[in-house]
Amino acid sequence: MALDTAKKNKQKQRREAQRSGSRETVELIFEATARILAAHGRAGLNTNRIAEVAGVSIGSLYGYFPNKQAILLAMARRELDHLRDRVKVALAPAPGDSPIDPARRAIRALIKGYTARGRVRRILMETLFSMGGHEEMARPVSEVAELLRGRAGDLLPAEAPSPSEMRLYVLTRAVDNTIRTASYENIDFLHSTAFEDELVRLVRVYFLEP
């Protein structure tokens, strides 16, 4: 279903209504959705169930979200933003950093982030994905790539070539996707230092070599 079919024309009586109730109700809905997703998968998710688990009336739920997709979408975006934030924090320069340290911290953040709430995360991403949210999914990684581009001077040795946009594209996607896939496959070395080292090595040689 195309994104543009949502009845956005409806007056959004939600926004932040009373500040207190609104915020909490949305949170209850998110939590309920996550719980159902974790326990019963996407096929087991329906709005009536969400409302029930959230302890909110179905009517209220529709006061906060125009339709079911919107709930999943909002959650997906939030998830995406959280992880992006953590990666950005990891990439921030720290006193005593060697050039590769930020990369290592970012990789760690990704591994941790992708592992947490695995099933729910995956379903949310699929939802976003199947709604045509490709750009949206790519956005956090793009932002990180952009960040790296700006900090290339700091992160790379003077003699290293300034990375092209495409190179940053490939590198960020390679790292991000490899970790994501590994977490989905639930490989046994996912949390090993060796795996982290291997990814760090990928970054190092790919960036530094001519």
Partner DNA sequence: GATGAATGAGAATTCATTCAT
Partner DNA sequence: GATGAATGAATTCTCATTCAT
The residues of the shown chain that bind a copy of itself, judged by CB under 8 A, are 1-7, 9-11, 13, 15-18, 40-44, 46, 48-49, 52, 122-123, 126, 129-130, 134-135, 138, 166-167, 169-170, 173-175, 177-178, 180-182, 184-187, 189, 194-195, 198-199, 201-202, 205-206, 209
Q: How many CB atoms within 10 Å of residue 193?
A: 9
**135 lies in the site for DNA, by CB under 7 A:** no
Of 86 and 167, which CB lies nearer to a copy of itself in the complex structure?
167
In this structure, which long-range contacts are made by residues 158-167, counting pairs with CB atoms below 8 Å and at least 24 apart in sequence? 160/207, 160/208, 161/210, 163/207, 167/206, 167/207
**Rg (the chain; Cα; Å):** 20
Six-digit token string for 130: 């199947």
Of 44 and 161, which CB lies nearer to DNA in the complex structure?
44
Among a copy of itself, DNA, none, residue 175 binds (CB under 5-8 Å by kind): a copy of itself
Among DNA, a copy of itself, none, residue 174 binds (CB under 5-8 Å by kind): a copy of itself
**Least distance (Å) between residue 205 CB and DNA:** 48
| Segment contacting DNA by CB under 7 A, of 8-16, 132-140, 141-149, 177-185 | 8-16
In 79-108, which positions are buried (b, 16+ CB within 10 angstroms) versus exposed (e)? bbeebbebbeebbeeeeeeeebbbbbbbbb
